[in-house]
Amino acid sequence: MIIVHHLNNSRSQRILWLLEELGLEYEVKRYERDPKTMLAPPELKAVHPLGKSPVITDGDLTVAESGAIIEYLIATYSSGRLAPEPGTPERLRYTYWLHYAEGSAMTPLLLKLVFNRVESAPMPFFAKPFAKGIARQVKDKFIEPQIIQHLDYMNDELAATGWFAGEEFSAADVQMSFPLEAAAARGGLDEKWPHLIDFLQRIHGRPAYERALERGGEYGMVG
């Protein structure tokens, strides 16, 4: 039995979604973030040394990292579904987007989250103006332009192909859901990127996505 070690409001939601798309049986073991630090609880370190989510166990096998989990599930259980044929241009695109989601798209979004917290963190009154000024400069001069560049790029790619790997929905779209949901949840998506908004509307309307939300519980990335 596949067990998803599921942290609320995390990347593990998309693993639940993929399992629903594949029609596989699985068990959800829930973990809750610390309400003050928003970090994962120490119990997750009993599953994987880094104590991060998502992690799945499948018998004696433990697999961490979203992309690795998706590749494992597709290779082991998909019977050719949700991935383009090997050796095709679509398969190369599929592999690219599986890695791009975390390797490129999430980096500026995470930096924005960190510097937002710097701005609002408690600190001595005399230090706060300096910290806020530095955080604002970093966001305005580096982080926000990077986010816009990535959103423009993703929007143009979807305009050309419909889905990230091509004309068919694939597990690459599952992987790409989180950075786009993160951008939307942090107020970074508007009508300038119609194909990204359309993508989110289409995936949120999929029955498997809705079933995964029911299984996963709290997920603040969908408003």
Tokens of 143: 């982080």
Taking only the tens place, the pLDDT of each residue in 98-132 is 999 999 999 999 888 877 777 676 767 666 676 67
Sheet of 55-58, strands arranged across: 26-31, 2-7, 55-58, 61-64
Residue 11, pLDDT > 90, answer: yes
The predicted model scores a pTM of 0.92
Say whether both 8 and 70 belong to one domain: yes
| pLDDT band at residue 134 using 50, 70 and 90 as cut-offs | confident
Look up the CATH number of the domain holding residue 44: 3.40.30.10
Q: Hey, is 61 helix, strand or coil?
A: strand
Judge whether 63 and 56 are in contact, CB under 8 Å.
yes
Cβ atoms < 10 Å from Cβ of 218: 11
Q: What is the CATH number of the domain that holds 159?
A: 1.20.1050.10
Expressed as residue numbers, the domain containing 38 is 2-83+211-216
Tokens 């690459």 belong to 172
Better pLDDT: 28 or 126:
28
pLDDT in tens, 72-105: 999 999 999 999 999 999 999 999 999 999 999 9
How, if at all, do strands 26-31 and 2-7 pair?
A: parallel
**Same structural domain, 105 and 198:** yes
What is the count of structural domains for the chain?
2
Tens-place pLDDT, residues 138-187? 888 889 999 999 999 999 999 999 999 999 999 999 999 999 999 998 77
Mean pLDDT, rounded, of the chain: 91
Q: What pLDDT sits at residue 157?
A: 97
At 131 the pLDDT is 66
